[in-house]
Structure 1
Amino acid sequence: MYKRIVRAKIRAVFESINDGDYMPMVDGLAPSFEYRFHGEHALGGRRTSRESMIRWWQRVSALLPGARFDLQDILVDGGPWRTRVAVRSYVSGDLPGGLRYENTVFQFITLVWGRVTSVETVEDLQILQRALRAVADSGKPEALARPISD
């Protein structure tokens, strides 16, 4: 039953993100957390503050507006005191010049008593970097900015 509740919560957060509202994700973070997105690119880096997560989501929304996550798998293990979640999702969206962004994202999440204490995000960085280059070439230099980290 607990694992079903966690899966439903994860789905609800991604549905909110797909609707353009990332705040349920931010609000689910524990007071002390780490969010790592692998790679040295505009969306990469390590964040540990609510403010940096909001800035990061604002950047994601500006660079990949309309990107949608289609959840493929949500695996849940552990109890409420330490829950491990693995998510595999397909992300897609339109890019400038009629191009499409399509990638597979893997996230490894740790929850402690229902609050997110860590997220590690991995995806095909060559595909992501090509997408960010297309966005930069369309007049958004922030797509080539340094990661938001703290």
Structure 2
Amino acid sequence: MYHYFVKQQVKKSFELVNQRRFSELINDMVLNVRHSFAGDHALGGVRNDQAAVKAWLERLARVTPNLNITIHHINVEGWPHNTLAIVRWTATATLENGDPYVNKGVHFITLKWGKVVELDVHEDTLTVYNGLEKQYQAGIQEAKAPQIIS
């Protein structure tokens, strides 16, 4: 039953990303949450607090304004004091130049007592880089901004 509730919490968190409701999303994170996103680009790097994660999410929305993430599978392991949710997903968008953006990835989400303590995101970093490059070429300057790190 516990794993069912965690799956529902994870589904809700992805819905909040899709709806750009980031303030609500970070409420389910500890203050010193660790968020890592692979790649040497404007979305890459590691953040270590809620404020930096929120700034990163806001950047994500600006550089990919119509991004939508679809969950394919959630696996939950562990108990309330140490839970791991593994989420397989596909992200899609239409870039500013009209090109489609499609990327598949996995989130490893660690929770303790219902709060997210770590988000480790793995995706095709070349696809992210190329998508950001196209967004930059279309006039979204932030697509080449320095990483948000804390």
Band of TM-score, shorter chain: over 0.9
Once residues 55 and 9 of structure 1 are traced to their aligned partners in structure 2, the CA distance between those partners, rounded to angstroms, is 22
- The size of the alignment, in residue pairs, is 150
Cα distance, 1:142 vs structure 2: 1.2
- Counterpart of 1:142 in structure 2 is 142
Cα shift at 1:22: 2.1
Q: Separation in 2 of the partners of 1:16 and 1:58? A: 12
Where 2:24 maps in the other structure, the secondary structure is helix
In 2, distance between residues paired with 1:66 and 1:140? 14
Asked whether 1:5 is paired with 2:9, we answer no
Q: Report the identity percentage.
A: 29
Matched ranges for 1:70-149 at <5 A: 70-149=70-149
Q: What are the ranges of 5 or more consecutive residues in structure 2 without an aligned counterpart?
A: none
Which deviations, in whole Å up to 9, do the C-alpha atoms of 1:91-115 show, x marking residues without a partner? Answer: 0011011111100021101100000
Counterpart contact for 1:90–1:104, Cα < 8 Å: yes
Instruction: Report the AA paired with residue 4 of structure 2.
Output: R
Structure 1 residue ranges (4+ consecutive) displaced by more than 6 angstroms after TM superposition: none
Equivalent residue number for residue 26 of structure 1 = 26
Measure, in 1, the Cα distance between the counterparts of 2:24 and 2:84.
Answer: 19
Structure 2 letter corresponding to 1:102: V
Give per-residue Cα distances to partners, 1:8-60, cap 9 Å, x unaligned.
11111111221221223211111222111111110011111222112111110
What are the ranges of 5 or more consecutive residues in structure 1 without an aligned counterpart?
none
One-letter code aligned to 2:34: E
Query: Do 1:80 and 1:112's aligned partners in 2 also have CA atoms closer than 8 Å?
Result: yes
**Contact 1:20/1:66 (8 A) holds in 2:** no
Q: TM-score, normalised by structure 2?
A: 0.96
Secondary structure at the aligned position of 1:148 is classed as: coil
CA RMSD, 1 decimal: 1.0
